[in-house]
């Protein structure tokens, strides 16, 4: 929903109630590498086949490299370490949200052939990020991409894991050193990790881990909630146990917390309802909010727990229908996405279909998101009428679009409901989703043409057809889309061919050049409209044309 307060604050709120565990949130990376960034809208579209229906921007990030500032975990895999002193959003396997400030400590330890420590060991200062200090040791996994960063003076050793595995918090991994050298940019093959020591840490690393040596790698995180599967950095914590935290501070500057700016947050109510919130700011023509105001807002929305995400130009919220905030989206390092693990019909580009053979809105093509394999059925039902089956087929996880032609289906005018139903092949409960449309042939065949009615007189004949009686409004817009003349307002007209005449006058002047004719008809089926661009020819030099009254055929 859209909430406007005092005309100066515009807030966008997405609420999602859990449906038996089918609705959940998850952390979504910007791309295949931690250095990749993407718009939230692109991440939502990319995840439609997996049931993604909406998303909000995630963590702060390094503008130069693109890597997240804080923790990122996905499906139990640790991709980046947390930022000390800042809260992060944790997501458990059951969809519970929690704020946390985990502490990271990583290490490597050399071992002999029998698995006993050799005495060589060292600390790991970070995971999958660029070097930020002149002396530190970093661990790189396949989440960094095809190779490690090459910048800076560093020594690296490549470890082949035995057996191949991904990096999980508090789960030691073992492997054998297969390559070592005084440079960066080492390739990362499947089942490998690279330990990279920057500056003075380099010589000790390669001395303690020569090629052939065995090594244990540990990434320890303390302060994790039980059953955690995903996490994304951000901060600060906004709401704890239903109480706002207006002055959490944390490791943020006043310049990040105090200004009225665009902001974003993720929260959860006591009943399990998820809250994805984005606030417009000065770049959108609104006042924005301080972090303290955002904390108060989340409590007002009923949040039991809430954590702020990156603010400023990064704040964004998108649904399957597209971005919600005005303007272009910034590319961000990750996002928090909302998923529905059932079949869903994407928002229709239009809800009113006018199959009257004028080439406008003749057909509709609902796109159905199928997050798992199964049997998909699509039907269309007339309100208080018969049901027509569009398709029933076995499908894989996909987004499938159907082209529905009301003429071919023999659909008469009136309200209809399109329903998709999925019976999953894995035996999980079936799901269904519906959207309403209206078939409306009331207005058709808009045709406008300038006509001469006498010496130096001009008019525009606006012709159209009504297939049922309706109240009709006709107006003229200039090339910029501004309404310059209302020719007819709410006039009741019978069915059949119609003509409305305009004397080409607006604002005391005869008009010429590009204009648009807009015809709107309101009937028992609702309101439909047609727009046509017309070119009014230049007027000859001579006496001014005499205004014409509106004539009815």
Mind giving me the DSSP string for 313-370? Answer: GG--EEETTEESSSSPPPPBSEEEEEEE-S-EEPPPS-SEE--SSSSSS--B--EEEE
Please state, in angstroms and rounded to a whole number, the distance separating the CA atoms of residues 90 and 99: 6
Question: What is the tens place of the pLDDT at every residue in 163-188?
Answer: 999 999 999 999 999 999 888 899 99
Sign of the dihedral defined by the CA atoms of residues 21, 23, 26, 32, in that order: positive
Q: How confident is the model at residue 454 (pLDDT cuts 50, 70, 90)?
A: low
Distance CA 220, CA 230 (A): 16
> What is the mean pLDDT of the segment spanning 83-105?
96
443-462 burial, b at 16+ Cβ within 10 Å, e below that, comes to bbbbebeeeeeeeebbbbbb
Q: What is the pLDDT of residue 285?
A: 92
Distances (CA, A) of 389 to 301, 350, 352, 399, 415: 41, 21, 20, 19, 16
Mean pLDDT, residues 76-102: 96
Please state the rounded mean pLDDT for residues 434-448: 92
- Cα–Cα distance for residue pair 325/272, rounded to 1 Å: 25
Strand partners, 367: 401
* pLDDT of the residue at 110: 96
> How far apart are the C-alpha atoms of 186 and 180, rounded to whole Å?
9
* Count of beta carbons in the 10 Å neighbourhood of residue 213: 19
**pLDDT for 22:** 79
- Read off the pLDDT of each residue in 265-279 and give the average, rounded to a whole number: 97
Q: What is the per-residue pLDDT across 208-233, written as a single tens digit (0 to 9) for each?
A: 999 999 999 999 999 999 999 999 99
242, 92 Cβ separation under 8 angstroms = no
Q: What is the pLDDT of residue 90?
A: 98
pLDDT value of residue 249: 80
Q: Among the listed ranges 110-114, 289-293, 548-552, which one has the minimum average pLDDT value?
A: 548-552
- Average of pLDDT values for 469-477? 97
Residue 152 pLDDT greater than 50, yes or no? yes
In whole angstroms, give the CA distance from residue 205 to residue 198: 10
What average pLDDT score do residues 36-49 get?
A: 94
> Nearest-5° angle of CA 183, CA 187, CA 188?
125
In degrees and rounded to multiples of 5, residue 143 shows phi and psi of -70, -10
Q: What is the pLDDT of residues 291-336, one digit of tens each?
A: 999 999 999 999 999 999 999 999 999 998 899 999 999 999 999 9
Q: What share of the chain is helix, strand, coil (3-state, %, to 5)?
A: 10, 50, 40
The half-sphere exposure of 181 on its side-chain side, counting CA atoms within 13 A, is 10
Q: What is the Cα–Cα distance from 436 to 336, expressed in whole angstroms?
A: 29
pLDDT tens, residue by residue, 357-396: 777 778 888 889 999 899 999 999 998 888 999 899 999 9
Q: In angstroms, rounded to a whole number, what is the distance separating the alpha carbons of residues 465 and 274?
A: 48
To 5 degrees, how large is the angle CA 169–CA 305–CA 272? 95
In this prediction, residue 547 carries a pLDDT of 42
Longest dimension (CA), the chain: 108
pLDDT for 460 beyond 80: yes
Nearest to 402 by CA among 412, 392, 411, 410: 392
Rounded to whole angstroms, the Cα distance separating 15 from 431 reads 20
Task: State the pairing for strand pair 398-401/367-370.
Answer: antiparallel
Mean pLDDT score of the chain, rounded to an integer?
A: 91
Give the model's confidence band at 350: pLDDT under 50 very low, under 70 low, under 90 confident, else very high: confident
For residue 513, say if its preceding peptide bond is cis, omega within 30 degrees of 0: no
């Amino acid at each position: 929903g859209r909430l406007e307060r005092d005309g100066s604050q515009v807030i966008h709120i997405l609420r999602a109630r859990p449906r038996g565990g089918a609705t959940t949130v998850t952390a979504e990376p910007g791309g295949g590498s931690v250095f990749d960034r993407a718009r939230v809208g692109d991440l939502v579209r990319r995840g439609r086949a997996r049931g993604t229906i909406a998303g909000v921007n995630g963590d702060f990030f390094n503008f130069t490299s693109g890597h997240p500032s804080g923790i990122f975990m996905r499906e139990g895999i640790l991709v980046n370490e947390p930022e000390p002193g800042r809260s992060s959003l944790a997501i458990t396997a059951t969809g519970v949200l929690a704020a946390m400030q985990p502490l990271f400590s990583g290490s490597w330890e050399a071992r002999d052939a029998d698995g006993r420590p050799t005495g060589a060991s060292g600390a790991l200062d970070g995971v999958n990020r660029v070097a930020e200090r002149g002396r530190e040791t970093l661990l790189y996994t396949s989440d960094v991409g095809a190779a490690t960063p090459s910048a800076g003076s560093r020594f690296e050793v490549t470890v082949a894991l035995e057996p191949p595995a991904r990096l999980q918090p508090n789960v030691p991994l073992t492997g054998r050193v297969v390559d070592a050298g005084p440079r960066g940019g080492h390739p990362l093959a499947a089942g490998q990790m690279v330990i990279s020591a920057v500056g003075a840490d380099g010589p000790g690393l390669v001395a303690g881990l020569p090629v052939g040596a065995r090594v244990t790698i540990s990434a320890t995180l303390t302060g994790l909630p039980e059953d955690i599967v995903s996490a994304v950095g951000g901060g600060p914590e906004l709401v704890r146990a239903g109480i706002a935290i207006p002055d959490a501070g944390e490791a943020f500057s006043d310049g990040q917390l105090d200004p009225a700016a665009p902001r974003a947050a993720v929260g959860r109510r006591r009943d399990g309802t998820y809250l994805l919130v984005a606030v417009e700011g000065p770049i959108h023509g609104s006042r924005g909010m301080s972090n303290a105001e955002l904390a108060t807002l989340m409590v007002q929305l009923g949040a039991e727990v809430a954590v702020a995400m990156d603010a400023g130009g990064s704040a964004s919220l998108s649904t399957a229908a597209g971005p919600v905030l005005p303007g272009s989206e910034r590319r961000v390092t990750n996002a928090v996405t909302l998923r529905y693990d059932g079949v869903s019909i994407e928002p229709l580009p239009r809800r009113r279909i006018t199959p009257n053979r004028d080439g406008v809105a003749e057909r509709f093509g609902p796109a159905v998101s199928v997050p798992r394999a199964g049997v998909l059925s699509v039907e269309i039902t007339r309100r208080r009428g018969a049901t027509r089956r569009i398709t029933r087929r076995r499908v894989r996880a996909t987004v499938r679009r159907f082209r529905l032609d009301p003429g071919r289906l023999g659909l008469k005018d009136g309200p209809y409901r399109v329903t998709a139903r999925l019976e999953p092949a894995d035996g999980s409960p079936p799901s269904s989703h519906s959207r309403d449309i209206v078939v409306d042939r009331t207005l058709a065949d808009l045709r406008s043409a300038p006509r001469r009615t006498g010496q130096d007189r001009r008019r525009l004949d606006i012709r159209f057809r009504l297939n049922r009686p309706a109240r009709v409004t006709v107006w003229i817009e200039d090339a910029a889309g501004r309404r310059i003349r209302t020719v007819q307002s709410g006039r009741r007209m019978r069915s059949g061919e119609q003509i409305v005449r305009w004397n080409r006058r607006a604002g005391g002047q005869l008009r010429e050049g590009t204009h648009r004719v807009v015809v709107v008809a309101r009937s028992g089926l609702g309101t439909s409209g047609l727009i046509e661009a017309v070119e009014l020819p230049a007027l000859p030099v001579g006496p001014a044309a005499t205004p014409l009254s509106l004539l009815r055929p």
